[in-house]
Amino acid sequence: MKKILYVPGVVVALSSLLAVNAFAQAKPDVLVKQRQAAMTLQGKYFGPLGGMAAGRVPFDAAVVSRNAGYLEVLAKMPWDGFDASTSGEKSNALPEVFSNTAKFKQAADHLQTEVGKLVTVSKGGNEADTKAAIGAVGKACGGCHEDFRVKQK
Amino acid sequence: MKKILYVPGVVVALSSLLAVNAFAQAKPDVLVKQRQAAMTLQGKYFGPLGGMAAGRVPFDAAVVSRNAGYLEVLAKMPWDGFDASTSGEKSNALPEVFSNTAKFKQAADHLQTEVGKLVTVSKGGNEADTKAAIGAVGKACGGCHEDFRVKQK
């Protein structure tokens, strides 16, 4: 049966599978810590933009563009941390994360789409358009938190 | 004295200053949480690469390239969290972080340089070169931890 390992395509597929497994083997508490870290950094880099959109912080196109680029990467990071193995871990994730995975994935994809738009718009330098795009990202964050996160006090 | 605010260049400079202050106003405990989050995610995305370089995980060029891109962004994120205001916070940062800021900055810059090299090399797809670049990133992590982080048990 070892013969199959000598078929190059299968070796590649097997390697990929093992590499993926190397991720999946992270313990549930580690996965929670990692996904929370991604959310923390999303907050770090979105916070000032939200402040700008709300007029609490002066608009700074360079900061928006830089942070939008960071957020584009960070917005990809939390989702594999919401593995089913973490459903029993202490966190702010509501059970709906694990019971309605299609809707949760849709919300995650929506955030990434809106962040992508912000990246594009922020490069144009138009303040009003950029603030509108920031608002849309904020709504994507808030919408997902509304459905899938324990209410914050 | 308000007149100065109507000079466009000054308005820009002032806006930038205020935007920077908006970051600096983060509380020390928040700064610590954010910098630890960046380190946690560096661990998430470097871990499998270290495993590949050590031969514990099958080499996967696509994963290396993707993670290297993530690490390039993540390697920029922790440093402003090591603000002097955080020196009294509970963390694994040794006092040297705050007493030898030049050496600390050098170590931080070194990591970013090595990650940049890994990004470039990983695009080339040469396994041996990529593994060597992974090793250099690992040394940059470890060197800084050696000097600036509480020894881990």
Q: Is the pLDDT of residue B79 over 60?
A: yes
- Position B102: which residue type? A
Measured distance CA(A17)–CA(A102) in Å, rounded: 23
Asked if A94 has any chain B CB less than 8 Å from its own CB, the reply is no
Of residues B18 and A47, which shows the higher confidence score? A47
- Asked if B23's CB is within 8 angstroms of A58's CB, the reply is no
- Reported pTM: 0.85
Of residues B17 and A46, which shows the higher confidence score? A46
Measured distance CA(A67)–CA(A45) in Å, rounded: 5
| pLDDT above 90 as % of chain A | 82
pLDDT of residue B153: 80
pLDDT of residue B16: 40
Average pLDDT for A29-38? 98
Measured distance CA(A129)–CA(A121) in Å, rounded: 7
Measured distance CA(A134)–CA(A118) in Å, rounded: 6
Which residues 109-138 in chain A show a CB within 8 A of chain B? Answer: none
> Dihedral angle at the C-alpha atoms of B67, A18, B145, B83, nearest 10 degrees?
40
User: Using a CB-CB distance cutoff of 8 angstroms, which residues of chain B are in contact with residue A23?
Assistant: 48
A21 pLDDT band, cuts 50/70/90, is: very low
Q: Is the pLDDT of residue B37 over 60?
A: yes
pLDDT of residue A123: 94
- Position B152: which residue type? Q
Q: Is the dihedral of CA B138, B82, A35, A67 positive or negative?
A: negative
Which of A22, A44, A62 comes nearest B57 by C-beta? A22
ipTM of the complex: 0.84
Asked if A8 has any chain B CB less than 8 Å from its own CB, the reply is no
Q: Is the pLDDT of residue B22 over 70?
A: no
Residue A115 tokens, joined:
């962040």
Domain ranges of chain A: 27-148
pLDDT of residue A153: 80
pLDDT of residue A96: 97
- Asked if A19's CB is within 8 angstroms of B63's CB, the reply is yes
pLDDT of residue A56: 94
B9 pLDDT band, cuts 50/70/90, is: very low
- Position B58: which residue type? P
Average pLDDT for A114-126? 96
Q: By mean pLDDT, which of B10-14, B25-29, B48-52 is the weakest?
A: B10-14
Q: Is the pLDDT of residue A151 over 60?
A: yes
Asked if B69 has any chain A CB less than 8 Å from its own CB, the reply is yes
Q: By mean pLDDT, which of B16-20, B73-77, B114-118, B140-144 is the weakest?
A: B16-20
Q: Is the pLDDT of residue A12 over 60?
A: no
Q: By mean pLDDT, which of A68-72, A132-136, B24-28, B128-132 is the weakest?
A: B24-28
Distances (CA, A) of A89 to A32, A92, A139, B37, B69: 8, 9, 27, 18, 30
- Residue A20's closest chain B neighbor by CA? B63
Spell out the residues 6+ positions from residue B120 whose beta carbon is closer than 8 angstroms to its own: none
**What is the dotted CATH code of the domain comprising A27-148?**
1.20.120.10
User: Using a CB-CB distance cutoff of 8 angstroms, which residues of chain A are in contact with residue B37?
Assistant: 36-38, 40-41, 44
